[in-house]
């Protein structure tokens, strides 16, 4: 069985830039420090959604080895980023959805391991580069393409997580607006307010 290691691996950064087109700051650690956890979750879940769509659409011919590898590697990064940003937030719906996501990945850890993706005890993923590069393109296709369950299901979860992040961002904006409005209210003198009481009585 032919491996996917044919050709030079050169376009990983380009692929990640496309996945993070909604918020380029979230692409690198230097930019991520300037974003809130909700902004990170929005960018990461959107990137994971795009990446899992890529996995369903790319060619799994052995001549396309570098693209298969780059997309599989990007799956690990976008997934891990999504888990990391979600873990920073406290929200019942988000926690419930992430529990499902981690359980799904755990349930498929043997399939992922077979193509060089290890699932850690924290629920994140790690790459076994040598094993992945030695994996046949047909095997990669059976696990990661639209023919399998993994990319399609993670795509659905990513969409749900992105919807949750949008709600959290709206809620944060509403809270900030309320605080800002309170800050600009005029401070009156209680003694001139007919509905107030005089503490001196």
Domain ranges of the chain: 12-182
The answer to whether 154 and 58 have CB atoms below 8 angstroms apart is no
Q: Quote the pLDDT of residue 152.
A: 96
The answer to whether 86 and 157 have CB atoms below 8 angstroms apart is no
The answer to whether 82 and 94 have CB atoms below 8 angstroms apart is no
Which residue shows structure tokens 């009585």?
201
Alpha-carbon distance of 41 to 97, in angstroms, equals: 13
- 117: helix, coil or strand? strand
Q: How confident is the model over 37-53, as pLDDT tens digits? A: 999 999 999 999 999 99
CA angle 148-153-158, nearest 5°? 140
Alpha-carbon distance of 25 to 12, in angstroms, equals: 17
Q: How confident is the model over 54-108, as pLDDT tens digits? A: 999 999 998 889 999 999 999 999 999 999 999 999 999 999 999 999 999 999 9
Sign of the alpha-carbon dihedral angle for 161, 43, 114, 102: negative
């Amino acid at each position: 069985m032919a491996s996917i290691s044919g050709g030079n691996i050169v376009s990983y950064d380009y692929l990640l830039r496309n996945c993070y087109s909604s918020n380029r700051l979230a692409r690198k650690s230097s930019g991520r420090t300037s974003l809130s956890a909700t902004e990170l979750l929005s960018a990461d879940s959107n990137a994971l959604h795009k990446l899992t769509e890529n996995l369903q659409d790319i060619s799994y011919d052995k001549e396309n080895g570098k693209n298969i590898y780059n997309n599989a590697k990007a799956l690990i990064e976008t997934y891990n980023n999504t888990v990391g940003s979600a873990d920073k937030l406290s929200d019942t719906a988000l926690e419930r959805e992430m529990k499902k996501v981690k359980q799904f990945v755990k349930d498929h850890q043997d399939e992922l391991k077979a193509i060089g993706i290890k699932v850690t005890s924290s629920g994140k993923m790690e790459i076994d580069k040598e094993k992945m590069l030695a994996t046949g393109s047909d095997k990669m296709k059976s696990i990661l393409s639209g023919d399998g369950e993994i990319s399609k299901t993670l795509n659905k979860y990513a969409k749900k997580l992105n919807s949750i992040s949008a709600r959290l961002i709206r809620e944060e904006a509403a809270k900030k607006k309320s605080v800002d409005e309170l800050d600009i209210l005029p401070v009156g003198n209680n003694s001139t307010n007919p509905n107030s009481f005089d503490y001196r009585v």
